[in-house]
Structure 1
Amino acid sequence: MNPKERAVCVCFDGSRVLLMRRLHGGRQYTVLPGGGIEPGETPDQAAVRELAEETGLVATVTGKLATVDHDDRRAHYLLMAAVPGEPVLGGPEALAESEDNRYRPGWVPIAELADEPLVPEEAREIVRRAFAECLADGR
């Protein structure tokens, strides 16, 4: 059986990265925006859709960063050029909000990435590497 697939959005705004702070089941952690790839969708299409649903931000995919198997899910990490703005929670995540299930999208300075409880841990290095490449390319 093929693993479930997920598109993961890596978006920068200057020296900030877009993250989703989560509270779920009493656990606080941070993830990158993204979600499941629907039948007939490419990872790029899913990333654009998920980012718009979760944050209201419009983006285009500018590069593929990594494909990583995390337990039962294959994650496609994609570099996104997002229209600048403040993210606003929407989509299924907004509908699922409750006292014990919260999503808080926001821009976080790259300098503070080490302080975030980012999961999965492999995502931290993918973000750092992508940011360094963007700096080197003058983006």
Structure 2
Amino acid sequence: MRNRGATVIIENGRIALIKRTKPYRTYFVFPGGGIESGETPEEAAIRETYEELGVNVQIQRLLKKLELNGTQYFFLANIVSGTFGSGTGEEYNHTSVKRGTYEPMWIEIDHLPLIEVRPKEIVDILLSL
């Protein structure tokens, strides 16, 4: 179990997600990853979002803290610079069939109930806003 920091980025009625495609399954996740030693959850969320999406973000507030395979922190954030989709994290450099693919994309908020987004608790919050 590892604690994680993640961002929830909403722009023009769309949300930034990462499409994960593995053998026999496809699902979507919020940009983020493990909190490294000495990092705050916010710092991890900012770093991971840059690595995965290629954008710098400003944290607005904590949206939700979940206990799910460790503590996961989800922060509402805004893009302040960078080019969406230009991430260079290890997800893009160390690919394998088992690990699957990572594809940053914008998804209309109205489409969230039609796809598998993990964790579902965050989708439920977004749909109630």
Q: Distance in 2 between matches of 1:99 and 1:4?
A: 23
Unmatched 5+ stretches in structure 1:
133-139
Matched-pair identity in %: 31
Given that residues 20 and 26 in structure 2 are in contact (C-alpha distance below 8 angstroms), is that contact kept between their aligned partners in structure 1?
A: yes
Q: Aligned letter for 1:121? A: K
AA aligned to 2:11 is D
Unaligned runs of 5+ residues in structure 2 are: none
Matches within 5 A, 1:116-135: 116-129=115-128, 132=129
More strand by share: 2
Q: Who is 1:48 aligned against?
A: 46
So what's the TM-score if we normalise by structure 2?
0.89
Flag as ranges the 4+ runs of structure 1 deviating above 4 A: none
* 3-state DSSP of counterpart to 2:51: helix
1:26 equivalent in alignment to 2:16: no
Q: CA deviation at 1:99?
A: 4.2
- 1:1-139 equivalences under 5 Å are 4-70=2-68, 72-83=69-80, 85-100=83-98, 101-129=100-128, 132=129
Q: CA RMSD in A?
A: 1.7
The separation in 2 between residues aligned to 1:80 and 1:62, in whole angstroms, is 5
Amino acid at match of 1:97: T
Deviations 1:13-68 (A, max 9, x none): 11110000101243211111100000100011011100000010110101011101
